[in-house]
Amino acid sequence: MAATGSEQGSKAYYVTTPIYYVNDAPHLGHAYTTVAGDVLTRWHRQRGEKVWYLTGTDEHGQKIMRTAEANGVSPLEWCDKLVEEAWKPLWEHLDIKNDDFIRTTEKRHTERVREFVQDLYDKGEIYQGGYEGPYCVGCEEYKTYGELLEGEGEFAGQKLCPIHRAPVEMLQEENYFFKLSEYGPKLLEHYEQHPEFIQPESARNEVVNFVRQGLEDLSISRSTFDWGVKVPWDDKHVIYVWIDALLNYATAVGYGSDQERFERTFPADVHLVGKDILRFHAVIWPAMLMANGLPLPGKIAANGWLMVGGEKMSKSNLTGISPQQLTEHFGVDAYRWYFLRAIAFGQDGSFSWEDFSARYTSELANDYGNLASRVAAMVGKYFGGTLPEAKAAGEAEQAVVDGLAKAVDEADRRIGEELDFSGGIAAVFDFVKQVNGYLTEQAPWKVAKDESPEAQARLATILYTAAESLRACAVLLNPVMPETSGKLWDSLGAEPHLGPVSEQRVGDAARWGQLPVGATVTKGAVLFPRLEEQK
Ligand code: ME8
């Protein structure tokens, strides 16, 4: 049986996003998956692991070719422009720390794709045949008749793709075929032995049922257009865009060019995908790897769909809201936080401006931001901005220490292992609530009025406890909101003693007493400005 990522010792924790089609600019849906991958990889970096995070663009195929034609430029010119002017700038804007960005038009990719396909051909895994059937250019996929929808209105009398709700095209071509049908039993065995391979459970069930029904061989070349990687032994054909695209996960990490690097990185521990492209990743991709004797990925994790008007948000069906419009209003960090916090990963969810505003105000501004500013203000007011010693800790403080330990365990398990971002973030915000409750009960502003040494020791203890709690929150929320954590870190005066927040270990976050007595606490920038002040 092929080894999974986690079985290999010093291998990098390797996470990928889908490589996106560049027929248009990125929208909220693309950003959703990419932010999730960024949070996951930042989390693992803060566990002290070696990490590799890959994203990129899918640039061949009919969909891109037609878009470029409609815009009167060559496909490559179109892709160059979109990648440089829209895709890469958005990832930078959203603070995505990908280690590499692969484009399928790059030579490092195309040459290796040809080699991979040639290998399959040499192994007898590919044969020539003919095919006729409905094809959706939006999906770049042959469809079965059973899954098509009956068109209505402007599409009356036509058959529609169930995802794009647009008419399919009938294709008849001479193609090369991959013997996918032979891999059904091996795939089912793998799903059985690795129940974690497909996440969530509903996605796993869907794939298992699909494979149980029997797989058909897969057409892996196209011969009626030429925007793609040429089939090595027959240059009248280009390689089917999905075979080309899936191989990015291998070519980007040294497949066929840098064996040592390839072994250090491949296979992916997690392929993040939307559920629209689950089968390509959970069926075709592992079968391709099996056919070529390569190890299988650890997990295919499907995120649900961001919905609009009851349908999957897509390029032709947008909310009219771009990621940049939301970041302009709420800030980049709140944007990164919101979608992961509000939607259970794997489930569908609807974006709503009202929900975002409400959560921003209650959790970010009131709970978290206020806690940070109150604590800094009180250390300033009562101790001249120098963090005092906690000499009089008791039961109330122990409850906070225990609450933190619980939050760290839970967040690490949920985010780091289960990809339950919402649950993991909630664990940290429950702790924020606990610290707020602690401050309300201890009422340091009242204790401050008593000048006795006992009261002053209590006051110091309360403020130290709150500041040390914030130190841990900054560490735990850094993967989600790096800019905010940096600001809080500065305000706590932590860096001169502890180093940068991004270098703090998740596993060490609950170790109490790291913020040194005497640290310089300043009332820094407001972490989450009131929304009305922003526009
Ligand atoms: O499928 N909700 O590219 P693509 C959540 N090139 N996620 C969404 C979404 C939505 N409404 N819309 C898009 C392709 N996504 C291929 C991939 S990989 C070898 C090739 C996200 O530009 C989600 O991750 O259509 C989905 O799978 C991906 O964008 C599809 O991007």
Q: Which domains, ranges and CATH numbers included, belong to the chain? A: 5-125+183-214+243-350 (3.40.50.620), 361-534 (1.10.730.10)
Alpha carbon distance 429, 67 (integer Å): 45
Predicted local confidence at residue 355, as pLDDT:
92
Which element (helix H / strand E) includes 308? Answer: strand 306-308
The verdict on whether 27 is a catalytic residue reads yes
Burial of 324 (0-12, 13-18, 19+ CB in 10 A): middle
Tokens describing residue 434: 């606990």
Write out the chain's pLDDT in tens, 535 residues. Answer: 333 444 345 899 999 999 999 999 999 999 999 999 999 999 999 999 999 999 999 999 999 999 999 999 999 999 999 999 999 999 999 999 999 999 999 999 999 999 999 999 999 999 999 888 999 999 999 998 989 999 999 999 999 999 888 999 998 888 999 999 999 999 999 999 999 999 999 999 999 999 999 999 999 999 989 999 999 999 999 999 999 999 999 999 999 999 999 999 999 999 999 999 999 999 999 999 999 999 999 999 999 999 877 777 776 666 678 999 999 999 999 999 999 999 999 999 988 889 999 999 999 999 999 999 999 999 999 999 999 999 999 999 999 999 999 999 999 999 999 999 999 999 999 999 999 999 999 999 999 999 999 999 999 999 999 999 999 999 999 999 999 999 999 999 999 999 999 999 999 999 999 999 999 999 988 999 999 754 4
Q: Which of 11, 63, 136, 487 is catalytic?
A: 136
Alpha carbon distance 457, 460 (integer Å): 5
Q: Which of 159, 281, 312, 487 is catalytic?
A: 312
Task: Please enumerate in sequence order all residues whose Cβ is within 8 A of that of 509, keeping only pairs 6 or more positions apart, or say none.
Answer: 404, 408, 472, 475, 476
Predicted local confidence at residue 7, as pLDDT:
39
* Residue having the nearest C-alpha atom to atom 24 of ligand 1: 274
Whole-model pTM: value is 0.95
Cα within 13 Å of Cα(386), Cβ side:
6
Alpha carbon distance 262, 11 (integer Å): 10
Give the residue, out of 15, 17, 30, 55, with the most ligand 1 atoms within 8 A of its beta carbon, to mutate for a pocket test: 30
Pair type for strands 169-178 and 159-160: unpaired
Q: Which of 230, 315, 381, 391 is catalytic?
A: 315
Residue 521 three-state SS: coil
317 CA distance to ligand 1 middle (Å):
14
Alpha carbon distance 245, 60 (integer Å): 8
Predicted local confidence at residue 316, as pLDDT:
63
Alpha carbon distance 73, 75 (integer Å): 6
DSSP H helices, 182-299, are: 184-193, 201-212, 241-246, 248-251, 259-265, 278-279, 285-291
**Angle separating helix axes 332-342 and 28-45, nearest 10 degrees:** 90
Predicted local confidence at residue 6, as pLDDT:
42
277 CA distance to ligand 1 middle (Å):
7
95 CA distance to ligand 1 middle (Å):
20
Predicted local confidence at residue 9, as pLDDT:
53
Predicted local confidence at residue 315, as pLDDT:
66
The verdict on whether 391 is a catalytic residue reads no
